[in-house]
């Protein structure tokens, strides 16, 4: 290996940074035990670091004692979960990514207007479950091109579409092409649902793949956007691997490829990427490291003022 090229942008998006900051503020404001429903973001390192500070992650609110404090993860929850939290008297702090909340509002608005909603997303993904739960009787999930060809929505209802925020841009466009052909009057949301960070990171990894002989995506196997980055790189015709720990780096990669591209998913801390690059350089200490900067990101989400104030008092 002669060169490592780092993609930019990579790593944390504004929604992940927001969710992590919300949990940090909640710890300062209310102390422990602090409960979080589902992994706050899909990254084992982030989850473990919070567990070491007394955060308890649960999948079901039944595991949270009545009256306790619970944070909803960045992926969002269906209204039924909010109702359950109210019935258990839980103090709720919402770390849902604002761009996921935007999709929730769109689905609710379409449902109120009598639309049937075709939701493009991955079956079983926690974000998809949360979004579809805003109008469960009026939403049909479409997971792939075959389902787009076969779906039979109610014939007497206007149709709208909504999308999981972390999907492959190219995959969604292909599915939308099928849906538009089959349902010419399909209504789209005012702004696309795939979030800016997903779009930017996929554009950056495409450019990275064109300059690299192999691409490594640093991220969790449970992370939808990290998996999509690997697929996007692979679609450019280069071998691509998803990994999280330095010990997963294979010495043969460094021997075989002169230029290795590295990027990371939107829920991956920069330290994880640095550890992977460090491992590559351990095998090839004379290699250079450069950055391929495709664009700058300026977006930032500010946590609720009330939570910031409570954290200041909690200190």
Residue 315 has pLDDT above 80, yes or no: no
Query: Which band of pLDDT confidence, cut at 50, 70 and 90, is reported for residue 282?
Result: very high
Give the pLDDT score at 12.
95
pLDDT digits (tens, 9 = 90+) for 206-231: 999 999 999 999 999 999 999 999 99
CATH domain 3-12+196-293 topology: Cobalt-precorrin-4 Transmethylase; domain 1 (3.40.1010)
- List, in order, residues 6 or more apart from 99 with CB less than 8 Å away: 15, 165, 193, 195, 196
Whether residue 290 lies in the annotated active site: no
Mean pLDDT, the chain, integer: 95
Query: Which band of pLDDT confidence, cut at 50, 70 and 90, is reported for residue 67?
Result: very high
Give the pLDDT score at 189.
79
The arithmetic mean of pLDDT across residues 56-70, rounded, is 97
Q: At what angle do helices 98-112 and 14-30 cross, to 10 degrees?
A: 100
Task: Please answer whether residues 37 and 73 qualify as being in contact, where contact means their C-beta atoms are separated by less than 8 angstroms.
Answer: yes
Residue 149 has pLDDT above 80, yes or no: yes
- Active-site residue, selected from the candidate residues 127, 137, 147, 279: 127
CATH number listed for the domain at residues 14-97+301-314: 3.40.50.11270
Residue 306 has pLDDT above 80, yes or no: yes
Kindly list the domain boundaries of the chain, sorted by start residue.
3-12+196-293, 14-97+301-314, 99-182
pTM above 0.75, yes or no: yes
CATH number listed for the domain at residues 99-182: 3.40.1010.20
Give the pLDDT score at 173.
93
Q: Do the two domains 3-12+196-293 and 99-182 of this chain adopt the same fold?
A: yes
Percent of the chain scored above 90 by pLDDT?
94
pLDDT digits (tens, 9 = 90+) for 83-97: 999 999 999 999 999
- List, in order, residues 6 or more apart from 299 with CB less than 8 Å away: 14, 196, 197
Give the pLDDT score at 110.
97
pLDDT digits (tens, 9 = 90+) for 188-206: 877 788 889 999 999 999 9
Question: What string of DSSP letters covers the chain?
Answer: --EEEEEES-S--HHHHHHHHHHHHHHHHH-SSEEEES-SSS-HHHHHHHHTTTEEEESSGGGSPTT-EEEE-TT---HHHHHHHHHTTPEEEE---HHHHHHHHHHHHHHHTT-EEEEE--TT-HHHHHHHTTSGGGEEEE-SHHHHHH----TTS-EEEEE-TTS-HHHHHHHHHHHHHH-TTPBPPSS-SS-HHHHHHHHHHHHHHHH-SEEEEES-TT-HHHHHHHHHHHHTTS-EEEE-SGGG--HHHHHH-SEEEEEE-TT--HHHHHHHHHHHHHH-TT-EEEEEE--------PPPHHHHHHHHHH-
């Amino acid at each position: 290996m002669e060169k490592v090229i780092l993609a930019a942008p990579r790593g944390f998006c504004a929604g992940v940074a927001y969710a992590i900051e919300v949990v940090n503020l909640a710890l300062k404001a209310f102390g422990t035990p602090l409960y979080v429903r589902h992994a706050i973001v899909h990254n084992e390192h982030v989850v473990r670091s919070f567990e070491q500070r007394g955060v308890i992650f649960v999948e079901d609110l039944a595991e949270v004692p009545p009256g306790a404090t619970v944070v909803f993860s960045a992926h969002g929850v269906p209204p039924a979960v909010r109702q359950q939290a109210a019935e258990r008297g839980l103090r709720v702090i919402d770390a849902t990514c604002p761009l996921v909340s935007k999709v929730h509002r769109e689905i609710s608005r379409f449902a109120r207007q009598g639309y049937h909603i075709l939701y493009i997303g991955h079956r079983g993904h926690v974000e998809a479950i949360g979004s579809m739960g805003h109008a469960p009787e009026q939403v049909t999930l479409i997971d792939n091109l075959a389902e787009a060809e076969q779906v039979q929505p109610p014939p007497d209802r206007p149709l709208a579409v909504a999308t999981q925020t972390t999907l492959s841009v190219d995959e969604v466009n292909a599915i939308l092409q099928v849906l538009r052909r089959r349902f010419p009057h399909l209504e789209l949301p005012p702004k696309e649902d795939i979030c800016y960070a997903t779009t930017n990171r996929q554009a950056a990894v495409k450019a990275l793949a064109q300059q690299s002989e192999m691409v490594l995506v640093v991220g969790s196997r449970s992370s939808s956007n990290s998996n999509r980055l690997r697929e996007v790189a692979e679609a450019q015709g280069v071998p691509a691997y998803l990994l999280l720990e330095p010990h997963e780096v294979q010495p043969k990669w460094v021997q075989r490829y002169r230029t290795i591209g590295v990027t990371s998913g939107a829920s991956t801390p920069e330290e994880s990427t640095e550890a992977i690059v460090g491992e590559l350089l351990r095998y090839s200490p004379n290699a250079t490291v450069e950055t391929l900067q495709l664009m700058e990101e300026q977006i930032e989400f500010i946590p609720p003022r009330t939570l910031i104030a409570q954290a200041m008092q909690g200190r």
